Each structure stands twice: as C-alpha cells, then as structure tokens.
Amino acid sequence: MDFAYSPKVQALRERVSAFMEEHVYPAEAVFEQQVAEGDRWQPTAIMEQLKDKAREAGLWNLFLPESEYGAGLSNTEYAPLAEIMGSSLIGAEPFNCSAPDTGNMEVLVRYGSAEQKKTWLEPLLAGEIRSAFAMTEPGVASSDATNMQARAVREGDQWLINGRKWWTSGACDPRCKIMIFMGLTNPDAPKHQQHSMILVPTDTPGVKIIRPLPVFGYDDAPHGHAEVLFENVRVPYENVILGEGRGFEIAQGRLGPGRIHHCMRSIGMAERALKLMCQRSVSRSAFGKPLARLGGNLDHIADSRMEINMARLLTLNAAYMMDTVGNKVAASEIAQIKVVAPNVALRVIDRAIQIHGGAGVSNDFPLAYWYAMQRTLRLADGPDEVHRMMVGKYELGKYVSREQMKASR
C-alpha cells in the first residue's frame, strides 16, 4: 500500500493539470460548439489542436506501461493522471489516452503480431486513427459474456463474420479505422475458449454502422456508441489476435488497466462535480442564507468528500496491487472499484445537480451529461451485479472451496 505520488508522478500531475487548465477546460465550450455546427459526426478541429499541443508537451500515450511504446508508467503512476484527465469529458483524448483506444492498443502491444502492430498499433499510437471494440450484443444478456452469439467461421484463409453488436463506442467517428471484433469461433470448446478476437477494418464490405445509440438523450458525437451489423464480412485469417479461442484470455488482460483508467476518470469527474457544488452553494442564497447553510446541504458536501476519498484510495490500492501482485490476485479489488467508482460519481453528481436547481439538469452545466456518462459505467464492462457477485464469491472462497460452492448451487 505504497501509493504515494512519487516526485516523477507529482511532476507529471502538475504538467497534466496545467495543460487541463490552460488548454482543455477552455476548449470545452469550443468543442461543444464545433460539434453543434455542421455535421455532428465529423471530428472537431479543436480536438486535433489539443492533441498537437499535448504531443508537443510530451504528454502523450501516458497510459501505456510498455516504455518502448508509451510513457512506461505503472498503474499506480498513471492512475493519478487519469483522474485529472477524467475531470473533463474531452480530457483524455488530447493525451491519446481515451477509451476504447487505450485498451485496444494494450491488446495489440501484448498480443498483436508484428504485422498487426505495424498496421494498426503504430497509427493508433500516433493518434492518426481511432479504433473500436465490438463485443456487447443487443440480443442477449451481455452481463454473461459467454452469451455472445455473433459468429466468425473460418473459410479457408478467411473469417466469415456475421452478427450484430452494439455499444461499439467510437465506431461512428470517421477516424475509426479498425475494430476488434469478439465473437464465437469454436462453439464446441470449453466455455471460455469458444470466442476469439479478430481485427476488422471498419471499411470492410459488410460492416454496417446502423445507428448511434443515445445515452439519456446524448449522442456523444462525434464519438458515438454504435450498433454495428456484420453481414458476411470477410477478413484474412491472420487477423485473429493471439489465436483461436483465446478471446477471453485477452479480455482478462485487457480489462484490468481499463478499469483503473475508467474508475480514476470517474473520480476526477466526481471531484469536479464537488467543486461545482461547493461553488454554487456559496454563491446563491435562499431564505436569507447561502445554500451551503441550509438544511442538509453541508452534509451532502461532506458525504461527497468522504466517498470520493474512499473511492480514490480503493482504486489506487487496486492499481498498486495490479503492479505488485498482478491482475489475477487483484481480481476482487479490481471488481470492487468497478462497482464503487461510478456509483460514487453518480451520487456526487446527483447532489451537485440538486444544488444547482434547474440549471443542473440543463446543459448550462455539464452535470447532467456527466451523470448520463457515469450511469453507463454501471453497465459497461459488466454490470455492478456481476462484479459484486465476484467480490462476494471471492470472500466466501476464504471459507469454502470452489468445488463445495459449485456443488451447492
């Protein structure tokens, strides 16, 4: 449990914070305006400018622990930076640190072939293209990932892919050139060896972006959350990553750091919501007193502070465990933060909305949008329920064997 910010991390925090203050926060309104004008589904000029600035500032690919490709930071070191980036919905992309690209790049770094790295990892690392991850399906309960039914069938030296995916975030963005498709390839194998990950270029014939899915009315343009139909899509057999039937193996490796990133960003968003709540509560008055002095408002502020602090420490500790004992031993801790962080963020944001009154649910403040985004994180990458179940089982595992538990089902 040594997750003090080292001098190196402290220096990076200061640089990232300064960048946010100087460039990102002021760009939020510009970004919103550029999206609102013309075609919502085209990349914005402002984001490309931010990327240029961050690249110049040497704040690039900070998420990547592999130092030959990225910043070489451990999870413990990167987490405090992700928190800062998370304080803005446009805060991660300037640093080339936004999901789902980060996860996809990690997959390619760890499991990609030389060819795959050259073709897809390099432009992703350079921020020239973006990517998507096609896993969740509309037709089944995706909380149980083994429910996935989209098929990829080997035909000679090709895969023939058919199926429907959704929540394929980022696929609406024209910069998205590559998708990692996960689907059923080996239906007769043991349960967790039936699925594979296959690289599918977005422009492959048969790949159809059906529609962007809104989240509480927000389309999240130009990123977007796509429903994607794969209709007789053909890609070379070599596009499979790591090998047939190894989809879940890769997914496990992919998810750990991704959760740290997501959770720290949630905490960063919660921190900013708390800041807005405090500022509003001292700047508006009712019944002759500032809002901060009325009823339980101060308690809500205090509860928010406590919950944020606890969520941060829990996440840092999970990051520290991942760095020191590995994702597998840290499985319960990773599941814990996946439940805790978005729920804390939602509670804090909801309190902030309430203290802002009508302004809180409108778009004059970012709170309602943040709420919508955080709400999806109680579902994305597995719903709360699945992670809670895992934490509970892990706990019981201290007292009964896995076999005894299964027998009692």
Footprint on residues 85-114 left by a second copy (CB under 8 A): none
Per residue, the 3-state secondary structure of 242-274, as one string, reads CCCCCHHHHHHHHHHHHHHHHHHHHHHHHHHHH
Decide: 240 and 58 in contact? Cβ < 8 Å: no
Q: Write down the least CB distance from residue 11 to a second copy, Å.
A: 17
Residue type, 96: N
Q: Does 408 bind a second copy (CB under 8 A)?
A: yes
Pick out residues in 292-351 that bind a second copy (CB under 8 A).
292-299, 301-303, 305-306, 309-311, 313-314, 316-317, 332-333, 336, 339-340
Specify the residue, 67 or 287, whose C-beta has the smaller distance to a second copy. 287
291 binds a second copy (CB under 8 A): yes
Q: What are phi and psi of 357, to 5 degrees?
A: 60, -150
Least separation, in Å, of the C-beta of 113 and a second copy? 32
Residue 17 in the binding site for a second copy (CB under 8 A): no
Identify the residue among 141, 190, 203, 205 touching a second copy (CB under 8 A).
Answer: 141
Phi-psi region of 226 (alpha: psi -120 to 50; beta: other; left: phi over 0): beta
Distance CA 356, CA 351 (A): 9
Between 108 and 171, CB nearer to a second copy: 171
Binding to a second copy (CB under 8 A): which residues in 219-238? 219
Residue with tokens 């499979």: 240
Write down the least CB distance from residue 234 to a second copy, Å. 28
Q: What angle do CA 311, 314, 316 make, to 5 degrees?
A: 105
Among 11, 33, 52, 289, binds a second copy (CB under 8 A): 289
Q: Which of 44, 281, 322, 348 binds a second copy (CB under 8 A)?
A: 281
Q: Residue 320 contacts by C-beta under 8 Å, 6 or more apart in sequence?
A: 1, 2, 3, 75, 76
Q: What is the DSSP string of 218-231?
A: B--TTT-EEEEEEE
Confirm or reject binding of residue 48 to a second copy (CB under 8 A).
no
DSSP structure class, residue 213: P
Positive or negative: CA dihedral 72, 74, 80, 83: positive
- Identify the residue among 218, 237, 249, 253 touching a second copy (CB under 8 A): 218
Q: How far is the CB of 236 from a second copy (least distance, A)?
A: 30
Query: How many C-beta neighbours within 10 Å does residue 13 have?
Result: 16
* Tokens at 173, concatenated: 């963005």
User: Residue 377: which residues within 8 A CB-CB, separation 6 or more?
Assistant: 262, 266, 341, 342, 345
Least distance (Å) between residue 393 CB and a second copy: 7
Question: How far apart are CB 97 and a second copy at their closest, in Å?
Answer: 22
| Local structure of residue 120 (DSSP, 8 states) | I
Alpha helix (H) residue ranges in 330-366 = 331-356, 358-361
Site string (382-401) toward a second copy, x via CB under 8 A: -xxx--xxxxxxxxx-xxx-
Site stretch for a second copy (CB under 8 A), options 17-25, 48-56, 152-160, 379-387: 379-387
- Interface with a second copy, residue 2, by CB under 8 A: yes
Q: List the beta strands (DSSP E) in 289-404.
A: 289-290
Q: How many residues bind a second copy (CB under 8 A)?
A: 98
To the nearest whole angstrom, how small is the minimum distance from the Cβ of residue 26 to a second copy? 20
Task: For the CB of residue 230, give the shortest distance to a second copy in the complex, in Å.
Answer: 18
Task: Give least dist CB 4 to a second copy, A.
Answer: 4
Q: Is the peptide bond before 80 cis (omega within 30 degrees of 0)?
A: no
Q: Which of 10, 33, 147, 252 binds a second copy (CB under 8 A)?
A: 147
Tell whether residue 216 is a contact of a second copy (CB under 8 A).
yes
Q: Give the one residue of 1, 114, 188, 403 binding a second copy; rule: CB under 8 A.
A: 1
Strand 130-134 to 176-184 pairing: parallel
Using the rule CB under 8 A, is 36 a contact of a second copy? no
